[in-house]
Amino acid sequence: MGKAMERSAAAAEWARRIEEQERSGLSIREFAKQRRLKPGSLSFWKWKLARAGRSVGPPPVAPLGFVELMAVPPPASASRRRDGPMFEIVLSSDRSVRVPAGFDASELARLVAVLEEVRS
């Protein structure tokens, strides 16, 4: 085995150890003691691999936030507008009004009167 390959194998082994240490939640000193490693060696390899740009642990994750969503039913007129038949009235002013089936005739008459008064 050549020196470059030995270095690569050593770097891979230390990267694995560092990942284990980070997942464990233990300090470098505590982890090294449990695994009978030198804390200085673990710190050195963590620094060296980070400097070389190798992954030494899971990628950083932005903190998650949650937003509570509440379902609000659409107004009755909106659901009728999408689901049922529609009537379109074109006024003499070239304005158009769309109304759903079951519209209130007196309200529509009032709206048409206002729209007819306001000529563009």
Residue tagged 């090294």 (tokens):
32
Check if the beta carbon of residue 25 is closer than 8 Å to that of residue 11.
Answer: no
Contact 120, 93 (CB under 8 A): yes
Alpha helices, DSSP H, located in the chain: 3-24, 28-35, 39-52, 76-83, 105-117
Instruction: Give residue 67's pLDDT.
Output: 61
Cα–Cα distances in angstroms (integers) from residue 3 to residues 6, 50, 52, in the given order: 5, 21, 18
**Rounded to two decimals, what is the model's pTM?**
0.41
Count of all residues that appear for the chain in the document: 120
Could you state, in order of their start, the residue ranges of all structural domains in the chain? 3-52, 76-117
Averaged pLDDT in 10-residue chunks for the chain of 120 residues? 65 88 90 91 88 63 64 60 72 78 83 72
